[in-house]
Amino acid sequence: MARFFPLTVTDVDRTTREAVAVTLEARDGGDFSFTQGQYLTFKREFDGTELRRSYSICSGVNEGVLRVGIKKVTDGAFSCWVNEDLKPGMTIDAMEPMGKFHTPIEPDKSKTYLAFAGGSGITPVLSILKTVLAAEPLSRFTLVYANRSVSTIMFREELEDLKNTHMGRFNIIHILETDAQDIDLFQGRIDGEKCTALFANWIDIASVDTAFICGPEPMMKAIAQSLGDHGLNK
Ligand SMILES: Cc1cc2nc3c(=O)[nH]c(=O)nc-3n(C[C@H](O)[C@H](O)[C@H](O)COP(=O)(O)OP(=O)(O)OC[C@H]3O[C@@H](n4cnc5c(N)ncnc54)[C@H](O)[C@@H]3O)c2cc1C
């Protein structure tokens, strides 16, 4: 049977108008140590009905904190409650971390990572990114991050800080659906055609060892297809 443990909310930080980062602390049992890319499953009763929802951990393993990023879904029961009503000091029940969305960290290796994230799909990717930058000092990471507009980019400042701290090892390409960009290629949605153009001019796909994709299903399918077409089946 699934076991839930109480976690104390220690911080609720608004990362965009529609999303918060929630920091949690284990209080009474459960092993909440985690691997980068894992998720937590929460439960809560809404009007007498129990709902369970999963949210990816967005902190790096090295950070020593447990944090999730939750984007408000229009009329969504759990995500609206978190964004509107959850406050530090409150308790929330969660199962221990689960999930296999990661590759092993090899501190002595020099690897090239490529990740695609769409909207709230950034959360597990951010955990992987921060862990790789901290624990695999010879590795490099390129993130292609798709959003509607600048104002909906979750963790924008944190990503900028990471870019400045790890210059030369971490590169980020923002693709925005509605906001104009200096470079035409960086506007619109990510589809097969955009991937081909990115691989032709901006990303050396032949050098990529490991790729991660997390976002809406059509976006993930188009990218996976394109990566396969370009010889990357990882
Ligand atoms: C492994 C995993 C990791 C995830 N990680 C994250 C993460 O890191 N961050 C994140 O923000 N999300 C994440 N998600 C998504 C998250 O779990 C929820 O699905 C999301 O927050 C919506 O839940 P909700 O309760 O707010 O919405 P729900 O109440 O489930 O509603 C979702 C949508 O369905 C509509 N709807 C609800 N009921 C009905 C109905 N009866 N008829 C018609 N329409 C209806 C609502 O209007 C809403 O638009 C993850 C999901 C999984 C599976």
Average pLDDT, whole number, for the chain? 96
> Would the pLDDT of 234 be above 60?
no
The mean pLDDT of 124-130, rounded to a whole number, is: 98
> Would the pLDDT of 179 be above 90?
no
Atom of ligand 1 nearest to the CA of 80: 26
The reported pLDDT for the residue numbered 1 is 79
CA distance 10 to 24: 6
The mean pLDDT of 104-117, rounded to a whole number, is: 98
Query: Cα separations (Å) of 51 from 41, 47, 81, 137, 174?
Result: 10, 10, 12, 41, 34
The reported pLDDT for the residue numbered 146 is 97
> Would the pLDDT of 194 be above 90?
yes
The mean pLDDT of 196-219, rounded to a whole number, is: 95
- CB of 31 within 8 A of CB of 96? yes
- CB of 126 within 8 A of CB of 55? no
> Would the pLDDT of 231 be above 90?
no
Q: Is the CB of 37 under 6 A from ligand 1?
A: no
Q: Is the CB of 44 under 6 A from ligand 1?
A: no
Probe residue for ligand 1, chosen from 50, 51, 55 as the CB with the greatest number of ligand atoms within 8 Å:
55
Atom of ligand 1 nearest to the CA of 99: 1
Percent of residues, the chain, with pLDDT higher than 90: 93
Parts of the chain belonging to CATH 2.40.30.10:
5-94
The mean pLDDT of 155-159, rounded to a whole number, is: 97
Parts of the chain belonging to CATH 3.40.50.80:
112-229
> Would the pLDDT of 25 be above 60?
yes
The reported pLDDT for the residue numbered 233 is 66
> Would the pLDDT of 205 be above 80?
yes
- CB of 69 within 8 A of CB of 16? no
CA angle 26/13/172 to nearest 5° reads 105
> What is the tens place of the pLDDT at every residue in 82-97?
999 999 999 999 999 9
pLDDT band of 113, cuts 50, 70, 90: very high
Q: Residue 123's CB: how many other CB atoms inside 10 A?
A: 26
What's 5-94's CATH class? mainly beta
Q: Is the CB of 69 under 6 A from ligand 1?
A: yes
> Would the pLDDT of 171 be above 60?
yes
- CB of 22 within 8 A of CB of 82? yes
Percent of residues, the chain, with pLDDT higher than 70: 99
> Would the pLDDT of 57 be above 60?
yes
The mean pLDDT of 139-167, rounded to a whole number, is: 97
Query: In this structure, which topology does domain 112-229 adopt according to CATH?
Result: Rossmann fold (3.40.50)
